[in-house]
Amino acid sequence: MPRKTPIFPCPRQAAVAAALLAAALLSGCQTSRELMHQFSGPSHTAQVAPPPSAAGQDLALVGRALDASAAGRAGMLDAAQSAYQGRSGPRETLQYALLLATSDPPSSDLKQAQTLLTGLLADGHPALKPDEQTLARLELVLITRQLTLETENRTLHVIGAQKLADLEHQLRSAAQQNVSLRRQLGEARAKLAAITNIEKSLNEGKLGNGTTPP
């Protein structure tokens, strides 16, 4: 029978063919990945970031106030107050209330901020975005809690001061009573000593007269 000629005459040729085949497959995979990246990857055109929401702008304002110096916060509060007094719109009212709650004493005014936010939520301004309404409700809750804590702290301070005054009064009364008791004790001792001396004198007088004391 005629001997069939092998496709690859020697093992080296087979290894070379296998290497070429692997290289072709890898090249094809790389090309496929590049094509997939071109079609499914991010666009090379610059994407414009969406503008921040209304509440995001309000929070950014608060963030700038917190990062600013005391003088900077005072200046921002003055600008917000001027805007509020000039227009008194819902946006200006909300920002003014936020800065009132953020500023340092004595510029801060939590009660006024509470009043402004309560009025905003009660009126239901249509110009106030839903996220700003949520922000206003959240800030109102925080302010109300802080005011409640301050009221309770003042109440506890008054109660503590009154209790301390009562204890000091009781201490003074006890000290005065102690002085009075010591004086009474001294007077009783003096009377007892006088009585003892009188009895002693009477006994000595009886003995001098030859009378046996009973």
Q: Hunting for tokens 């090249």 — which residue is that?
A: 27
As given in the structure block, the two tokens for residue 187 are 């007077």
As given in the structure block, the two tokens for residue 181 are 């008791």
In tens, the pLDDT along 102-134 reads 888 888 899 999 999 998 888 666 677 888 889
Please choose, from the candidates 123, 125, 74, the residue with its C-alpha nearest in 3D space to the C-alpha of residue 99.
74
- In a 13 Å sphere around the CA of 139, the CA atoms on its Cβ side amount to 30
Banded pLDDT at 208 (limits 50, 70, 90): low
Asked if 37 and 117 touch (Cβ cutoff 8 Å), the reply is no
In tens, the pLDDT along 14-31 reads 433 343 333 344 344 444
In tens, the pLDDT along 40-95 reads 444 444 566 667 788 889 889 999 999 999 899 999 999 999 999 988 788 899 99
Going 76 to 82 to 87 to 89, the CA torsion angle's sign is: positive
- In a 13 Å sphere around the CA of 68, the CA atoms on its Cβ side amount to 18
191 residue type, one letter: K
- In a 13 Å sphere around the CA of 147, the CA atoms on its Cβ side amount to 15
Whole-prediction pTM? 0.55
Please choose, from the candidates 175, 136, 169, the residue with its C-alpha nearest in 3D space to the C-alpha of residue 58.
136
